[in-house]
Chain A
Amino acid sequence: RKEVEQDPGPFNVPEGATVAFNCTYSNSASQSFFWYRQDCRKEPKLLMSVYSSGNEDGRFTAQLNRASQYISLLIRDSKLSDSATYLCVVIASGGSYIPTFGRGTSLIVHP
């Protein structure tokens, strides 16, 4: 079982839709969580960190469920420009600071 798993998609949604991605992780000692966005042939860029209490940034909401070991990303009112691959990233405690990446979920927003 991979340490960090994501549904690869693609998720194909119309503009204005709400879409949610989940990401599960296997290491219960994980302490830091992030969502990254990667456009085609570009580098990954930090979208948002995920805090224990959940956090929101405009149309984007991230949540963490430690008991079930998953994080989620909710995108409301999808825009064409949201089309990208979304990467889930987890860092375990222990001092190595080595992130573990999921393989990404592809989102396609169509008119």
Chain B
Amino acid sequence: DAGITQSPRHKVTETGTPVTLRCHQTENHRYMYWYRQDPGHGLRLIHYSYGVKDTDKGEVSDGYSVSRSKTEDFLLTLESATSSQTSVYFCAISDPGTVTYEQYFGPGTRLTVT
């Protein structure tokens, strides 16, 4: 299995509080991604990074920010959590230097905003 960890694995927080999720990889892959997964919507890309300090928005980026100060860490921040951000969050990595660009996923973070 690819070396990807996410922390925390579960979190319950209140509306209006800031929340930071961490993704850590040991594979030295250049690309890192944050997704959310909700019933009826599948996986939706929030933000991604193509290198240290290089990030871009995905299809559902409103209300989220990211930072990548080291190759191995990609942080997702909810500045002021809302109930609509209750979801399962997956981090993924890939290395387009390989032939087929496949992604590998972390175990997920289950976030509940009350």
- Residue of A49, A98, A104 with most chain B CB atoms under a 10 A cut-off: A98
Asked if A46 and B102 sit within 8 Å, CB to CB, the answer is yes
Number of residues from A at the complex interface, CB < 8 A: 19
Interfacial chain A residues near B84, Cβ < 8 Å: none
Number of residues from B at the complex interface, CB < 8 A: 22
A97: which of B31, B40, B88, B108 is its contact (CB, 8 Å)?
A: B31
Give the distance in Å from the alpha carbon of A34 to the alpha carbon of B104 in the complex. Answer: 12
Mask, A69-96, CB within 8 Å of B = 1, is 0000000000000000001010100000
Give the interface of B toward A (CB within 8 A): 31, 40-43, 45, 48, 50, 58, 88, 90, 94, 96, 100-108
Q: A32-B100, A87-B43, A101-B42 are known contacts. Are A45 and B105 too (CB-CB below 8 A)?
A: yes
Give the distance in Å from the alpha carbon of A67 to the alpha carbon of B90 in the complex. Answer: 33
Interfacial chain B residues near A87, Cβ < 8 Å: 42-43
B90: which of A43, A89, A99 is its contact (CB, 8 Å)?
A: A43
Q: A98-B48, A103-B41 are known contacts. Are A49 and B96 too (CB-CB below 8 A)?
A: no
